Structure 1
Amino acid sequence: MTDLPDLLERTAARTPVGPPPLDALRAGAERRRRRRTATLSGAAAAAVGTVISAATLLAPAPQPTPAAPPPTRLVGIGHAAIAVPADWPRNRSICGTPQQDTVQIDDSSMVLECLAGRPQDVDSVQVSGSPTVGFQADETLVIDGARAERQRTTCYDSSVGSRVCAGAVGIPALGVWFRAESSTSAEHVDRLLSRIRIVPDQAGVPSPWSVTGPPTGALAGGYVPLLSDAGLKAQVKQVKSPSYPSGTLLGVSPAAGTMLPLGATVTLTVAK
């Protein structure tokens, strides 16, 4: 029997021995390194993509910038005023019926008797120194410390077909009443009447209609005290007018209802 050590020695003697295959070893190692690098790069890219996707899902959607509210101006009598859109004109009405969004103060067309239709989607505010027609106090409230009376908003079908909603607020102690009307909705009326405020450092130019006088018009002598009571000053401008007696008040500037700082001057055009 041949011993195992002798068999190994003879086998080794017959096996040719050469230099180790270094190039092949290096090439195999390089292939394995590239495979590991590619695998790691793919995993890293997948991880980054996952993070970006998650961030995109979690980020809040951009919100639209809210539109700025339209500018307003104050109109009123004395220290009570209401904010109306700044671009509303005055007295755009036919026989007292507004034909577009408007504020009504000393609207001369109200004395005319006719059935003028109110177009759709027209809002208006009437400011007066006496209770508006049909005013009744359904509730009381306080506006900036002043007691006010509110006539609730109601809607009705007018005789010319449009549906009109109306409501009113009066402040008896300050001698001013506000009536809002809308052929859009009752909400428009309530929104308008919610903008009434008391402005201690300003005063509205009084209405000449609040002064009684001869049939030709109010007399300036009865109007000047109203300006003084409101904290405003009078400047008289006399003009020749053969149609009116001397002392008749022909106009005021700024117009009635304009809010002015206390001590401001109002120009009275008076017939001489």
Structure 2
Amino acid sequence: MIATLARPSADHPVLSALLARPGPAVMGVLNVTPDSFSDGGRFFDPGQALAQARRMIAEGADIIDIGAESTRPYGAPQPVSAEEELQRLRPVLAAVAALGAPVSIDSMKSAVVAWALEAGAGIANDVWGLQRDPDMAKVIAAHNAPVIVMHNRDRADPAIDIMQDIAAFFTRSLDLASRAGIPASHIVLDPGIGFGKTPEQSITALARLGELRTFGLPLLVGASRKRFISSITPSEPDQRLGGSIAAHVLAARSGARIIRTHDVAETVQALRVAEAIGDRS
């Protein structure tokens, strides 16, 4: 059973601005890592990273999501220390924030999130939904920042009801947020497509995304280049644009308010065309 909270709202100015438009906001992915599954370290160099951020903003990105540790939704990446993560972020984050678009920091470490929020990031994006680092919720509360709470599991279990698992996970995360003093209106929920899920479970989470609207909070979907696409049409990550767009357009139709993508221009175009056609129906 999915818990019901208040109607979706965003009294934080960053979220309010992002969610004010009728269609979903687009979040551009910027990986400053040498081993990302999706772009192979193309933007590990600070100059290349800044150029890519400028490009995505010009293409219509409403948010830039910076991550300095590969979380690889499948496979086993080498753990990265907080100091290594910070070394990768220091030459990039403030410069990207200076471009004017809101920046989110994609990290599971509270020390990294604290530094990033002080260096110019405006949103925390935690792939463990406040449940891995015991200090994460209080750091975000102390900075009065919005947070993206993502569902995750250490490993996929094909035997579970994935929607029940997502709902139970979010209920725990929201309790942690409340105890730390994070207002519900500062929270965005992400079902974590590809994380701790079989391809079939990722497809189910997308197909039943609308069920999560009963939480009364904005939803983010990041299906970009994920493995479930290859389970339908075998392909490498950089060959999954069509599948990514299909998933994102359907997610927007089901109520997603933020779409996280590696391919900003194509995603913006697809969402705007779908919105224009929908307005005529």
Higher CA-based Rg: 1
Structure with greater proportional helix content: 2
Higher relative contact order (CA 8 A, sep 6+): 2
Normalising by structure 2, report the TM-score.
0.28
Decide which structure has greater strand share. 1
